[in-house]
């Protein structure tokens, strides 16, 4: 075997993910697998989602791959470090790809990786497999878009690799290499609908300060509408899902493409319920009406904050009012709205959190998910607060999610803020629905949480 591709998401080892039970396979390594197979390479895929770490060890022993390619993100870092060590012990050379390794390439190389790929993996892996076989892992200076160590142990970062211009030239992701029917079955068992993911584009041209562009940069390239309709048709015929998940950063970013795609699906009589992500500034009456006709039942909007001041600091390039208006527009067309909310961005004050609560009441999304901002290395946010970043443990024992910023409130403060936010928004929904009796109880609870939040804030400020 020339190459074994794997990732480190072990569903049954993560209690939170088990509670959610919405697994999807990593499309990135399935694209790489399909491409390399089309180029004549012998490629295996270890899909860790429903497996155990001992299964990876067993596959290494059975297949003895020359090269192991590991996809790594923040969520899977610790598992990847262990899988990296197992692959090295089995005699394989290790290549890392994904959003996590590029800005920590030296740390991963120092702990046993042979190469870190910066950017897309298809052509990089094609070249690396051949060059490592011919030259070894320390003479790769002519291979673009990688970081490695030369014969003297020096870290070498080569010039960037050009992005793939024609995405249609790539084969469909290699879904046959994994047990995709198991994903569909798990979704159907836990949520009543079997789901399959796909992606129409690579990259996002927006500049949100906290967002990482470590794989695709700030490019934006799309498959053609016909190519995507072909993929949907293949998915429907082979796997019979009940719904789709479009994993694009901004599904409706290019309106001409979007309308052409909708028309192509309609021409083929392909209509499946789906959910996707977009931005308020890339929605309008015609777009939302078309989404509804296509089968979109839920649209996620990256709202992030109800404070315009914070949104501008984030470089979100969107207004609070536009988010609210598009949320109401979607709901009028029968589309549920989910929102992503981020607390703790640099400079945020309690008045901004209060503005976000008011925003959620006005927008009234069907669901919202919260996170507390953390500085991902390589992002504008990280650069902005780099001098204040606090790492309370060694690199191999933490991820960027564990980083905090000096002068910011404590984790308990934000936990209280989120409880207050949820309580206030739920109260508003109950009162809007006429549940005044339940609402009074919720209001008392929310006020108590807010009081607790103020106590924590005062103590933290004194301690600093």
- Collapsing DSSP to helix, strand or coil, 404 comes out as strand
Distances 196 to 133, 137, 214, 394 between C-alpha atoms, Å? 36, 37, 25, 38
φ/ψ of 390, rounded to 5, equals: -115, 125
- pLDDT, position 165: 94
109 vs 72: CA distance, rounded Å: 14
Percent of the chain residues topping a pLDDT of 90: 89
Q: Give pLDDT tens digits for 28-71.
A: 999 999 999 999 999 999 999 999 999 999 999 999 999 999 99
Domains for the chain: give ranges and CATH numbers: 3-157 (3.40.50.280), 178-463 (3.80.30.20)
Region for 213 from its dihedrals, namely left if φ exceeds 0, alpha if ψ lies in -120 to 50, beta otherwise: alpha
pTM: 0.91
Distance, in Å, from the CA atom of 209 to the CA atom of 197, rounded to the nearest integer, reads 27
- DSSP at 162: P
Asked if residue 295 lies in contact with residue 271, where contact means CB atoms within 8 angstroms, the answer is yes
Is residue 450 pLDDT above 60, yes or no?
A: no
Mean pLDDT calculated for residue range 403-417: 93
| Segment among 135-149, 208-222, 264-278, 325-339 with least mean pLDDT | 208-222
Q: How far, CA to CA in Å, does 348 sit from each of 207, 285, 311, 343, 455? A: 19, 33, 10, 8, 18
**Cα 401 to Cα 16: distance, rounded to the nearest angstrom:** 16
- 418, pLDDT greater than 90: yes
Instruction: Tell me the pLDDT tens digit for each residue of 365-408.
Output: 999 999 999 999 999 999 999 999 999 899 999 999 999 999 99
Closest to 193 (Cα-Cα) out of 272, 278, 299: 272
- Please tell me the predicted confidence (pLDDT) of residue 444: 47
The pLDDT assigned to 214 comes to: 87
**Alpha carbons 461 and 402: distance in angstroms, whole number:** 21
């Amino acid at each position: 075997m020339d190459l074994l591709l794997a990732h480190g998401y072990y569903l049954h080892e993560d209690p939170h993910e088990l509670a959610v039970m919405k697994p999807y396979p990593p499309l990135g390594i399935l694209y790489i697998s399909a491409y390399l197979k089309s180029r004549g390479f012998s490629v295996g895929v270890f899909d860790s989602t429903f497996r155990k770490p001992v299964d990876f060890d067993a596959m290494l022993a059975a297949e003895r791959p020359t090269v192991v390619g590991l996809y790594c993100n923040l969520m899977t870092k610790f598992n990847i470090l262990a899988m990296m060590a197992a692959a090295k012990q089995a005699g394989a050379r290790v290549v890392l790809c994904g959003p996590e390794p590029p800005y920590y390439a030296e740390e991963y190389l120092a702990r046993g990786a042979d190469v870190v790929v910066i950017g897309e993996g298809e052509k990089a892996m094609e070249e690396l497999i051949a060059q490592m076989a011919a030259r070894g892992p320390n003479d790769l200076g002519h291979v673009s878009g990688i970081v490695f160590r030369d014969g003297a142990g020096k870290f070498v970062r080569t010039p960037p690799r050009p992005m793939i211009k024609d995405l249609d030239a790539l084969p469909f992701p290699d879904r046959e290499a994994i047990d995709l029917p198991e994903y569909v079955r798990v979704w159907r068992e836990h949520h009543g609908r079997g789901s399959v993911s796909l992606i129409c584009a690579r990259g996002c041209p927006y500049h949100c300060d906290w967002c990482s562009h470590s794989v695709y940069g700030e490019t934006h390239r799309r498959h053609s509408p016909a190519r995507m309709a072909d993929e949907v048709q293949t998915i429907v015929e082979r796997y019979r899902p009940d719904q789709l998940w479009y994993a694009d950063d901004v599904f409706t970013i290019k309106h001409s493409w979007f309308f052409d795609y909708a028309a192509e699906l309609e021409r083929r009589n392909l209509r499946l319920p789906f959910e996707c992500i977009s931005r308020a500034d890339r929605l309008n009456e015609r777009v939302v009406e078309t989404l509804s006709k296509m089968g979109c039942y839920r649209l996620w909007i990256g709202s992030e904050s109800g404070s315009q001041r914070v949104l501008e600091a984030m470089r979100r390039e969107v207004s609070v009012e536009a988010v609210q208006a598009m949320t109401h527009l979607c709901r009028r067309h029968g589309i549920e709205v989910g929102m992503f909310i981020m607390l703790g961005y640099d400079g945020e004050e309690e008045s901004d959190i209060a503005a976000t609560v008011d925003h959620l009441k006005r927008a009234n999304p069907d669901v919202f998910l919260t996170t507390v901002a953390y500085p991902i290395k390589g992002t504008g946010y990280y650069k902005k607060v780099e001098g204040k970043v606090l790492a309370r443990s060694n690199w191999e024992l933490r991820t960027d999610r564990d980083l905090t910023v000096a002068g910011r409130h404590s984790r308990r403060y934000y936990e209280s803020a989120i409880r207050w936010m949820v309580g206030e928004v739920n109260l508003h929904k109950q009162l809007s629905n006429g549940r005044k009796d339940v609402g009074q109880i919720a209001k008392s609870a929310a006020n108590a949480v807010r009081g607790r939040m103020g106590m924590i804030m005062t103590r933290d400020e004194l301690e600093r």
